[in-house]
DNA sequence: GACGAGCTCCGGGTAAATCCGTAGTTATGA
DNA sequence: TCATAACTACGGATTTACCCGGAGCTCGTC
């Protein structure tokens, strides 16, 4: 079973068993790869890692129950910064990309790529420690581009802890007053948080906030 | 290539190339099945069908660009009611189930099932014309259960054309007044639409509506 | 026709969300 | 050290969202 120890050891995390299995079969067919574990959420990943398993790559889905890709990536970055993380996402969002970069994620893949791209990504991240498609690179380059609107846009997409927490709570039936209570902040501060997010995320209503949060995988549903 | 014509001919529609390919490879490995086409959206499916291709099963994803699973299923039901449709969805939603049943969909699959379940589903829908998991059956049975809250709940989940249209428009920055304009209805009617949907969908704010719409695949994003 | 059910429409009122401008506090860096 | 920016906090004014009750309308059923 475990004969060929030179193979790239991959852990796959996605809550959809069907797709995870299909993807796992595909990765296993890449000759130099071997899926050593499949997990349904971030917690399972961490448990496996804690048991001493040391993969070369972890392919993380963003939306998962129990513990999502964001949280899992943050944990891994903190306690096992040597493990390469490749995030596989439905969305093409600068917002989550920025956050994930902060969590030490070194590669992004949209789910609409060609299988050969996945293969290339795995090799790239193992060999060079990172993987970005041209598309991603362009986005990043554009974001970090100084002097222009680029850097402003980057600043915009850096959400503070409060903003992030608020954004998640805004995706509910809760009143701003109730959200303020939950966050331990005065209602007025919530007003400012909201107003700032309206500008940062380029929306003009709470529904807009909720839509952005969902379409960027920030809230799981 | 096309030697074994007795195989079950499958068309696969999902906008995520990676997952679609992985899934296609899996289905192709089921000995009695053969994926004859892969499509990225509903429009492509319809084009293929119009060209005279006649599959035994079409496996449809719900969220797709251009033309989503709802629209594709409706078209197929109208013009090719003999083709079996199997809907593959991320969500476990009674709301979309009801709507899809009305579009002639005869089988549902959540993306978190085991591969063997997919195989069983394909065979079942080809042989008996339908496929429901125990879970689905229970949901349906519960919905159609007369005399109790069941039938009421069914009625609740049957959205009118206006309600459906409003629900989609509610997932935006538009004001109710603006939505009213777009729909050509007086603002007061929008009020009633909203109030009814609050009850039907068991939420108590517009954000709640948006969340339900998104988590049931009613709005694509 | 009488009836209820479902859809559309309305008035008036309260609470919430949104907009405008202002200002204190911290951290960062020239 | 002073300037700058980012975060937090506030007051007051306006618009929007939400809630309550009522009423006409069509349609199918008995």
Q: Per-residue pLDDT for B19 more than 90?
A: yes
Q: Per-residue pLDDT for A132 more than 90?
A: no
Judged by phi (left if over 0) then psi (alpha if -120 to 50, else beta), residue A217 lies in left
Q: B85-130, pLDDT tens digit by residue?
A: 999 988 877 788 888 887 888 888 889 899 999 999 999 999 988 8
Q: B137-182, pLDDT tens digit by residue?
A: 666 655 554 434 444 455 566 789 999 999 999 999 999 999 999 9
Q: Which residue in chain B is spatially nearest to A204 when comparing CA positions?
A: B173
Interchain pair A207, B21: CB under 8 A: no
pLDDT band per the 50, 70, 90 thresholds, residue A218: confident
Q: What pLDDT does B149 receive?
A: 44
Residue B19's nearest CA partner among A221, A93, A113 is A113
Within 10 angstroms of residue B43's Cβ, the number of other Cβ atoms is 17
Q: What pLDDT does A148 receive?
A: 41
Give dist(CA B88, CA B112) in Å, integer: 10
Instruction: Name the pTM for this structure.
Output: 0.85
Give dist(CA B73, CA B105) in Å, integer: 7
Q: A194-208, pLDDT tens digit by residue?
A: 999 999 999 999 999
Give dist(CA A124, CA A187) in Å, integer: 48
Q: What is the mean pLDDT of chain A?
A: 87
Q: What pLDDT does A99 receive?
A: 82
Q: Per-residue pLDDT for A2 more than 80?
A: no
Q: What is the mean pLDDT of chain B?
A: 87
Q: What pLDDT does B122 receive?
A: 94
A84 in helix, strand or coil?
A: strand
Which nucleotide is closest to the Cα of A177 by its C1'?
Answer: C16
Structure tokens at A75: 């944990």
Cβ–Cβ contact A101 with B under 8 A:
no
Q: A65-94, pLDDT tens digit by residue?
A: 899 898 899 899 889 999 999 999 888 777
pLDDT band per the 50, 70, 90 thresholds, residue A142: low
Q: What pLDDT does B139 receive?
A: 64
Within 10 angstroms of residue B4's Cβ, the number of other Cβ atoms is 9
Q: Which residue in chain B is spatially nearest to A171 when comparing CA positions?
A: B207
Q: What pLDDT does A157 receive?
A: 67
Mean pLDDT across A180-206: 94
> Which residues numbered 143-202 in A keep a CB inside 8 Å of some CB on B?
170-173
Please report how the helices B187-201 and B161-170 are oriented relative to each other, as an axis angle in degrees rounded to 10. 90
| Chain A CB contacts of B211 below 8 Å | 171-172, 210, 214, 221
Among partner residues A23, A114, A215, which is closest to B221 by beta-carbon distance? A215
pLDDT band per the 50, 70, 90 thresholds, residue B31: confident
Strand partners, B33: B8
Give dist(CA A21, CA B26) in Å, integer: 9
The answer to whether strand D lies under 7 Å from the CB of residue A21 is no
Among partner residues B22, B205, B207, which is closest to A19 by beta-carbon distance? B22
Q: What pLDDT does A217 receive?
A: 85
Among partner residues A15, A23, A172, which is closest to B19 by beta-carbon distance? A23
Q: A20-59, pLDDT tens digit by residue?
A: 999 999 999 998 899 999 999 999 999 999 999 999 999 9
Mean pLDDT across B74-89: 92
Look at the alpha carbons of B209, B213, B214, B220 in this order and tell me if their dihedral is positive or negative: negative
Mean pLDDT across A207-213: 95
Interchain pair A170, B214: CB under 8 A: no
Q: A114-131, pLDDT tens digit by residue?
A: 999 999 999 999 998 888
- Cα dihedral: A118, A94, B62, A173 (round 10): 140
């Amino acid at each position: 079973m475990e004969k060929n120890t030179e193979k790239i050891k991959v852990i796959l995390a996605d809550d959809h068993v069907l797709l995870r299995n299909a993807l796992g079969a595909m990765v296993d067919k890449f000759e130099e790869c071997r899926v050593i574990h499949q997990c349904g959420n971030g917690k399972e990943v961490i448990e496996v890692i804690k048991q001493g398993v040391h993969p070369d790559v972890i392919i993380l889905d963003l939306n998962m129950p129990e513990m999502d890709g964001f949280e899992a990536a943050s944990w891994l970055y903190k306690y096992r910064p040597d493990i390469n993380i490749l995030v596989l996402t439905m969305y093409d969002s600068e917002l989550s990309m920025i956050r994930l970069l902060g969590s030490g994620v070194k590669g992004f893949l949209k789910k609409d790529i060609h299988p050969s791209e996945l293969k290339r990504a795995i090799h790239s991240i193992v060999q060079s420690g990172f993987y970005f498609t041209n598309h991603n690179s362009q986005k990043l380059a554009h974001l970090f581009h100084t002097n222009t609107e680029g850097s402003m846009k980057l600043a915009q997409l850096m959400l503070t802890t409060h903003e992030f927490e608020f954004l998640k709570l805004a995706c509910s039936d809760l009143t701003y007053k109730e959200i303020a209570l939950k966050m331990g902040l005065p209602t007025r501060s919530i007003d400012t948080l909201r107003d700032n997010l309206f500008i940062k995320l380029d929306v003009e209503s709470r529904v807009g906030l909720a839509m952005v949060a969902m379409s960027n995988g920030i809230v799981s549903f």
